[in-house]
Structure 1
Amino acid sequence: MTEPFALAAEAADFLRSRFDVDRIDLALVLGSGWSSGADRLGEPLGDVELAVVPGFSTPVVSGHGGHLLLSRTPAGKVAATFTGRTHYYEGRGVAPVVHGVRTAAAWGAGTLVLTNGCGGLNPAWAPGTVVLLADHINLTGDTPLLGATFIDMSEAYSRRLRDLAHRVDTALPEGVYVQFRGPQYETPAEVRMAGILGGDLVGMSTTLETIAAREAGMEVLGLSLVTNAAAGLSESALNHAEVLQAGRDAGPRLAALLAGIVGEL
């Protein structure tokens, strides 16, 4: 099996050759509900199916795309947008989950924007609310780090980038994201536990990618779309169709928000 960093370097070399772009400035991972913003980030420079890039595979989750889009932002930066991700619950291990992050870092990106759809614990955050991630709690019991790799996580999500996002949309709240392993949704008791631990949002992605990005020295901005009230906080049963519909309903606002933030990066 190819060593993870060597595989990321191979993927970055493939993309350099494919697009004739030596390095990128930033990367985005578009989670559930966020794909509508992919074509609003600047001048298109090309796209490629992720499945043909070394180390990547076709996303298995409905609502996730499977392409890497390259664009030049209004600020003149080159951005790579991943319209799909590998989730930890797919059972492939941690390395495939963070392969996109490591590929972006190997291609030169210094900034990473991670987005997701999630359950909300705050009753004031109705479905369609976007929340900036101030911090996270990783309940997967796993990490992408190998051996004695001690990474400072005291500012997992960049204060500078959060301030920038607030300038684009002053109404954005901030919260703590709690990642469970999945793929089952959380029980009401698990949601109550997340709240006791200090969580505001629950989901099944993002934290492992953030750890890998911080290992690579990247600044991270996290954005969560509240797609539903977390289990036990409403009378409705949870289902993935609800997540997708919330993303479609919020699509125009998400696209405008992403375009505004990327235009400032």
Structure 2
Amino acid sequence: MIALQDRFAGRVAVVTGAASGIGLAITRRLLAEGARVVGLDLKGAPDLGADFIGLDGDVTTEAAAETLVGTAVEKFGAVDAAFNVAGGSRPGYIVDLAESDWDFTVDLCLKGVFLGMKHQARRMMRQGRGAIVNIASLNAHVPMHAGSAYVAAKAGVEMLSRNGALEFAPFGIRVNAILPGLVQTPLTRRHFDNPDALAAFEARIPQGRPAQPEEIAAPSLYLASDDASYVNGASLLVDGAWAVSGYPDMRPFRGPIGWNQRTSE
């Protein structure tokens, strides 16, 4: 039996959003389990040792997706597992949201995953094997005030993952999605810096707390490992049972709907 810390020994993985939060936790866990990793992040990636290569790049560009895969093949010889993690949002109510903010969120959360999958799967098809894990969100299923672009993009990631599973399964490639709830990362700091907002979230999470990035990394690696060899096209909620109780009303923390529209007319 392969020890847990050796599950990815001899394997090569690529990770987007590798510099912080969930992406960094996944990268560190992969390295601990024996993988060689190439990470991509707009802000650059930290120095994590000889088995890690960090690249600067924008996941919303095809060139970055090509470079990520190309570097993994050139330096390490393969792409066995891919984790599309990079994401973010610019919130706003539908009637207030600027077109540029919609484009930013949808491009980062959905287009970036599409471009990553496109080039990751091309390489994996040549190998006849591979596993892709995409980070979606609980919000793929649950709407939130002022979150239209984000929820639409994350719902798209979930369905894109299922479509990838359908298309790539004959080539020995599995595609699955992780749907996290609230995770304590640099991108969610605004919630944690606001005690009232954090309390509103925690009141609706049955486990009573947000997740740590490492708690998302562990199931993500499971889906990419041989332990999940017959798991394909699945969406795994990792949310502390939050989906059971429902989302809090965030209007007190976002302001009234239509405010921007009224003040601009």
More strand by share: 1
- Quick one: higher RCO (CA 8 Å, sep 6+), 1 or 2? 1
TM-score, normalised with respect to structure 1? 0.38
More helix by share: 2
